[in-house]
A and B are shown apart, each in its own frame.
Chain A
Amino acid sequence: MAKQVLMYGNTAIGEAAIRAGCQCYFGYPITPQNELTEYMATHLGRRKGCAFVQAESEVSAINMVYGASAAGVRVMTSSSSPGISLKQEGISYLAACQLPAVIVNMSRGGPGLGSIIAAQSDYLQSTRGGGHGDYRTIVLAPASVQELADLTHEAFDLTEKYRIPVLILGDGMLGQMMEPVVFKHKAPKKPPVRKDALRGAKNRKSKIIKTFTSNPAELEEINWSLFRRYQMLESKEVRHETYMTDDANLVVCSFGISARIAKGAINAVRASGLKVGLFRPITAWPFPYEAVKKLTNNIDHFLVFEMNMGQMLEDIRFGVGERGDVSFYGRPGGVIPTPSEVARVITRHYYQKGL
């Protein structure tokens, strides 16, 4: 087995990206993800044939991503909530041109400049496209430093396979904490380059990557083609985790760091005999609606817990439909609830529902 190392979530993303063959990184500093930018500056910037650029703004960084992706290399950018908002125009363009890219959001409290503390208030922005136009991005929501590393690696494969930008939806806490992590892959000697890269039209017809067309029918076909791929993703790439749901009367639904806090709470209430389980989407888009629906065969009560005012709540409600009741508990703004606080909420809920 590869060696365990103690790493920050932020730096683990950087290392995983390099090992996945990421050749270019463009970023602009923002707390709480600066360690990632710093890591790429020292570790990617020094690699032969690789490029690190601290851009003059987030908008500039995402457009550099666009350019590098068109040139066929594996490319990543990262930021935190307000910075990700600035990148949305570029993400929409990437989606339109079907250019692969990995975008990391170590989210923090909002709205506005908000705070520098971890929050989960970017769920809807992330899972509904984020920018203008009809599009989606693949959204991966890790809950530990190990998973951050694993999913970052996979993100590079997914984005190339489906030609859809992949967003890694982490949070400030995951980025700032250290945990043991194992890297399962070695960095490639030479980073891979896509075959369809724009690198001069010698011996072939010239090709243009652009997002504008004045012919609505043509644009409609582009949209259809994107949505056919989204349907494929919805059937093939949906991932989730369940924990102790087999005998559960109540299932707590959470993603990312809050799922972890919820798990601690569930362990605590299980110790006093309450039959409670956990549902956690790993792909926040495509969302595991079918898995939620399946849970409703045996379970009537769902409690959504998020560090926001109820965003994934919409997806859980959609998945549960009329087959169960859905309640919500959330703390927005960067307040990080403790497992014992969530355990109290679960217990109260459990008895109020007469379970």
Chain B
Amino acid sequence: MLFKTIFSGFGGQGVLSMGLNLAQAGMLEGKKVTYLPAYGAEMRGGTANCTVAISDEEIASPVASSPDFLVAMNFPSLVRFQNQVQSGGIFFLNSSLMEAEISRGDVDIVEVPANDLAEELGNLKCANMVMIGAFVKKTNLVSIDTLIKGLEDSFKKKKKLIPLNKKALKSGYGLF
């Protein structure tokens, strides 16, 4: 099965590293993965986004014209991508920053108060890890253990950040 996810939010919310983490975990589990960051004039200021494809078979295109999942860390991201998501897809919304005002009835909505939970943990910057924790719990794309392993790899040079990010992951994972 092929699953495509768009991660989107403000620049600085850790949107790209969220996608990268998922792609890395997919690779560690022996799946085919592609990661494509948005490239263009919108990189500064506005929304940043990336697309991750995970599959058991070769991936034809890293672009998602109709993704299965959307992770929206802010409201503009929801506005931008809400009509692209496949029927039956799932929206993951950062409910700390927006209300779920969605005009579609054919998708599931998962609200994650990522900013609030991150602040409770003492650092707003780990909101992205809270979100990805919740994301893998609902989608089951990769296991939480692989995600943590990938996390440890990417923070190899900043080891002191691992415990906080791990905690954030687990808090998101434990939401549902």
Contacts and interface: CB of A to CB of B under 8 A. Distances in A.
Interface residues of B, number: 20
Contact of B35 (A4, A6, A173, A262): A6
Contacts, number: 57
B133 interface: no
B176 interface: no
B91 to A, nearest CB: 21
Nearest to A264: B60
A267 interface: yes
B33 A116 contact: no
B50 to A, nearest CB: 9
Contacts of A177: 34-36, 62
B60 A260 contact: yes
A176 B60 contact: no
B24 interface: yes
Contacts of B24: 6
A173 B62 contact: yes
Given A179-B33, A179-B34, A32 B60 contact: no
Nearest to B39: A176
Given A6-B20, A6-B27, A261-B61, A180 B33 contact: yes
Contacts of A178: 20, 23, 34-36
B58 interface: yes
Nearest to A259: B60
B123 interface: no
Contacts of B61: 260-261, 264, 336, 338-339
A207 to B, nearest CB: 46
A63 interface: no
A340 B65 contact: yes
29 contacts: A4-B27, A6-B24, A6-B33, A31-B39, A32-B39, A173-B63, A176-B36, A176-B37, A176-B39, A177-B34, A177-B62, A178-B20, A178-B23, A178-B34, A178-B36, A179-B33, A260-B58, A260-B60, A262-B60, A263-B58, A263-B60, A264-B59, A264-B60, A264-B61, A267-B60, A336-B63, A338-B63, A339-B60, A340-B65
